[in-house]
Amino acid sequence: MSFSLSSFDSDEITCFDIIKAFHALTDNELEVLSCVHQGQPLDIKGIIAVIPKDRATISRSIKKLLAIGFVRSDKITLERGGYKFVYSSLSMTEIREKLKQNIEQISKRMIKAVSKLTEEKCIEMYRNVLLKYKT
């Protein structure tokens, strides 16, 4: 989980800014999240109809959004046989709660790390960095 705190310098932080920072999402992934957040669940073809990108790009984005838990997948049985998957996002309330949990978890870890910080540990870290460049 890597992100830059400097991206939060503005007072105009959006939900997407936080999601993007915490989960290292691409613009494509944010577009897909926006698409599946609108109305009815969509299959891959439905998403492509809104976001004209290749199937592989959309599939990768869906896979990542499923992995981080912002998108749900439902298997639909087709009348003519077979099945397809449709995708929808969490509700805004669920997304907000998930983000709050993310922020609380990272804050606790950062406070713990800072409280363990000593001059000796800093010196050791600096030495290790410099040793990497010694020949």
pLDDT at 6 over 80: no
Is 0.95 topped by the overall pTM?
Answer: no
Other Cβ atoms within 10 Å of 84 Cβ, number: 13
Q: Which domains does the chain have, with CATH numbers?
A: 5-131 (1.10.10.10)
- Per-residue model confidence as pLDDT tens digits over 56-71: 999 999 999 999 999 9
H or E element at residue 94 = helix 92-115
CA 52/CA 105 separation, integer angstroms: 36
- Per-residue model confidence as pLDDT tens digits over 36-58: 988 789 999 999 999 999 999 99
| Secondary structure class of 73 (helix, strand, coil) | strand
Rounded to 10 degrees, the C-alpha dihedral 111/116/119/122 comes to -80
